[in-house]
Amino acid sequence: MNEKLARVTAGTTVLSEDLVPYKELQRTRFYADYARYTDICCSVTSVLKRDSGHIAALGVVAEEPHAFTDTDVDWLRALSPHLTRSIEISRKLHAAEVASDDAHRALSILATPILLLAGDGLLVHANAAAEALLRRGDDLHLRQGRIGTSVPSENARLGALISAAASGSGKRGGDMIVHRAPPQRPLTVAIVPLPRRTALPTPPRASVAMFVADPDASCSTPMPSTMLAYGLTLAEARTVAALASGMSLKEAAAHHGISEATARNQLNRALHKTGTNRQAELVRLILASRPPI
């Protein structure tokens, strides 16, 4: 019977007797091994969905043969479209949940602090880097779940940028700096409006993305692994990384315990391998080539 049911198209409601007569059913292994012990004598089944080798069906069983009437079949047939719709909604909700989880996991590995905010500054989501930044309290903090700064003028400016970007009047959003206690350098904040979607009452929807650049963060210096993609040796990559962090060639050589002449040879080989002509051009290339993770 299962083989015959597998050939029934989606949206069809059938009686088991139409697939396998009861007397023939009694001679099957299904009946001998299972149905006779569970008092299953007949059923009415509606095939709801069929795709990619999977089938979704609803079956109602009875203990007596020929127990279902045409009215029963009509009732299940009328119910089936609603059940099919519920399956489709369930699949879409699951797909949305998976997509949301994937997006959050992708955001979590980015080194750049990213906060998703509602139009009033309410935090909807923060990636791992943003959560770490908020925990440090570097003059960016949450009050009653809303993002803010310690300096009143900067707090007003941040709120205005978020509100304008969320309303659409800001178009591309805006940038600002958030001062921190010395010797820390200011944070750079970029506010970007998110594409508009159909509004839902709950939960709060993010309408603005906030990107934060911390010039003092260790991730500002490219990791040698980034430069290995250009064919640089580990020694060459370390020297270039030191230069990208702001060291002079002499300081980079001393930092790695090599002579300045060796460091210069490593720099020249790195210039050749990356197709650049000057140290500044090489540093700019490496900084621009590093993925934000």
Same domain, 174 and 269: no
> 107 pLDDT exceeds 70?
yes
Q: For residue 267, which amino acid is it?
A: L
Same domain, 210 and 116: yes
**CATH number for the domain that contains residue 50:** 3.30.450.40
Domain that holds residue 69: 2-103
Taking only Cα atoms into account, the Rg of the chain, rounded to an integer number of angstroms, comes to 32
Round to whole Å and give the CA distance between 139 and 152: 11
Confidence tier at 287 by pLDDT (50, 70, 90):
confident
Same domain, 92 and 190: no
Same domain, 244 and 263: yes
**CATH number for the domain that contains residue 282:** 1.10.10.10
Higher pLDDT, 253 or 26: 253
- For the stretch 173-221, pLDDT in tens is 799 999 998 888 999 999 999 887 655 555 678 899 999 998 887 655 5
- For the stretch 219-253, pLDDT in tens is 555 566 678 888 999 999 999 989 988 899 999 99
End-of-domain residue from the set 83, 103, 123: 103
DSSP run (H or E) holding 51: strand 42-51
Same domain, 52 and 133: no
Same domain, 162 and 199: yes
Same domain, 213 and 230: no
Total structural domains within the chain: 3
Round to whole Å and give the CA distance between 150 and 40: 72
Question: How many other CB atoms are found less than 10 A from the CB of residue 261?
Answer: 9
Same domain, 113 and 213: yes
Round to whole Å and give the CA distance between 281 and 265: 17
Same domain, 235 and 282: yes
Same domain, 69 and 157: no
Q: Tokens in use for 167?
A: 């309303």
Same domain, 15 and 74: yes
Q: What is the pLDDT of residue 195?
A: 83
**CATH number for the domain that contains residue 141:** 3.30.450.20
End-of-domain residue from the set 153, 183, 217: 217
End-of-domain residue from the set 192, 217, 242: 217
Confidence tier at 111 by pLDDT (50, 70, 90):
confident
Same domain, 264 and 284: yes
Instruction: Find, among 150, 285, 144, 142, the residue nearest to 210 by Cα.
Output: 142
